[in-house]
Structure 1
Amino acid sequence: MIYKFRVILDADDDIFRDIAIEKETTLEDLHNAIVNAFGFDGSEMASFYTCDDEWNQEDEIPLFDTGDVPGEMRIMTDFVLEDILYEEQTKIIYVYDFFNMWTFLVELGAIEEKEEGQSYPALLFSHGQLPSEAPEKEFESENFDADFNDGDDFDMFDGDDSFEDFGFDENWN
């Protein structure tokens, strides 16, 4: 069986790619298909994030194990597409290049039979030009100012450049 995904850049403009890939492949294979479809060089870190139906980010699935204990973290090669995405769970978030935060909404649109003579993964459709820079993200917390400007958490930063309260010498190097 073939999974057909629509991969949408999280931006104001409509920029997306439709990709067909075998359901038995891994998230790393989907990562590579997305990188190729959007013309990235593939040299940056990336992660998928599980999410709910409202695109609220949940668990991270990184390209490489970045945990403190080697082998403890499950990575993209550990997840077969059909085990994480299926008819009832069709959405996943993909982030490429953590410095620029290229963010994509990936949705499973169809599950179909394999076409004879077709090789996979396949770029089925391309719409819109990728901008030269990743779209700016706005922080969505309604209580950002209340959370961080209540005066309790940042009293130690009073502008006198004193490091006495931190317990170390400011000329440590």
Structure 2
Amino acid sequence: MAVLKFRVYLEEDDAVYRDIVIQHKQFFQDLHFAILKAYEFDSKHQATFFRSNDNWQRGREISFAKYDKSYVAEPLLMSETTIGSEIRDTNQRFIYVYDFAKNWTFLVELINVSKEESSKITYPAISRTEGIGPQQYGTKSLLGDKFADIEEKYDLSEAAEGFGEEGEEKGGEHEEERNNGGEEDF
């Protein structure tokens, strides 16, 4: 059974990606849930895939459900469409859109096809994680809740501008030296 490896990029930042391995006989719904798990998103929102070309143009839609919107062509359903049935070439691309209100867009690119399946892996699986993924709702500091404790302990709000006054001189002799700096040499 063929194992497909997809690289799933965040559309805005190609340095943030997840590699997902999945069997070609598995369904787009399996890939959908694998992407959500890889980026730590919940599964409460609408989602769809689009078959894509090398220029990332949207083609045939493979949707989680038939949504109340107009379609150019009836969408295929993720639960009924195997991934292998939509692979047209060795670097097949898909566009994955999650949460139509927030419009999270991921670029999904086939990067490897292997005939060897591992008995140690439950497919689909995340095989590589690169970069810090976005937060689905709002932002989360790298330090998380600990930042508030640090801010309180060291009273970081006092230097809210980010710059202190140390080293700043107004008027003084340093400014005169800068103004007259090169005149005496001539």
Note whether the superposition's TM-score is higher than 0.5: yes
- How has the CA–CA distance of structure 1 residues 110 and 62 changed in structure 2, closer, same or farther, with 3 Å as cutoff? same
2:172 match: none
Deviations 1:74-106 (A, max 9, x none): 311121111102534610100011111110000
In 1, are the aligned partners of 2:61 and 2:76 still within 8 Å (CA)?
A: no
Q: Is the 8 A contact 1:66 1:73 kept in 2?
A: no
> In the alignment, what sits opposite 1:12?
13
Secondary structure of residue in 2 paired with 1:14: strand
Q: Deviations over 1:20-69 (max 9, x none)?
A: 1111001111101101111001111000011111111122221012268x
More helix, by proportion: 2
Instruction: Kindly report which structure 2 residues correspond to 1:59-138, keeping only aligned pairs within 5 A, or say none.
Output: 59-66=60-67, 73-88=75-90, 90-112=92-114, 113-132=116-135
- Please state whether the residue corresponding to 2:97 is helix, strand or coil: strand
Larger of the two Rg values belongs to structure: 2
Q: State the alpha-carbon separation in 2 of the partners of residues 59 and 36 from structure 1.
A: 24
- Equivalent pair of 2:61/2:75 in contact (CA under 8 Å): no
Map residues 131-150 of structure 1 onto 2, 5 A cutoff: 131-132=134-135
Q: Normalising by structure 1, report the TM-score.
A: 0.69
Report if aligned partners of 1:46, 1:63 keep a CA contact under 8 Å in 2.
yes
Alpha-carbon separation, structure 1, partners of 2:90 and 2:123: 24
What is the TM-score normalised by the length of structure 2?
A: 0.65
Structure 2 alignment gaps of length 5 or more: 138-186
Contact 2:41 2:136 in 1 (8 A): no
Residue number in structure 2 paired with 1:158: none
Instruction: Measure the CA separation in 2 of the matches of 1:119 and 1:133.
Output: 26
Cα separation, partners in 2 of 1:73 and 1:123, compared to 1, 3 Å: closer
CA RMSD, Structure 1 to Structure 2 (Å): 2.0
State the aligned residue count.
131
Paired residue secondary structure (2:118): coil
Identity, in percent, stands at: 35
**Counterpart Cα distance in 2 of 1:96 and 1:30:** 12
Consecutive unaligned residues in structure 1, runs of 5 or more: 135-173
Moved over 2 A (4+): 86-89, 131-134
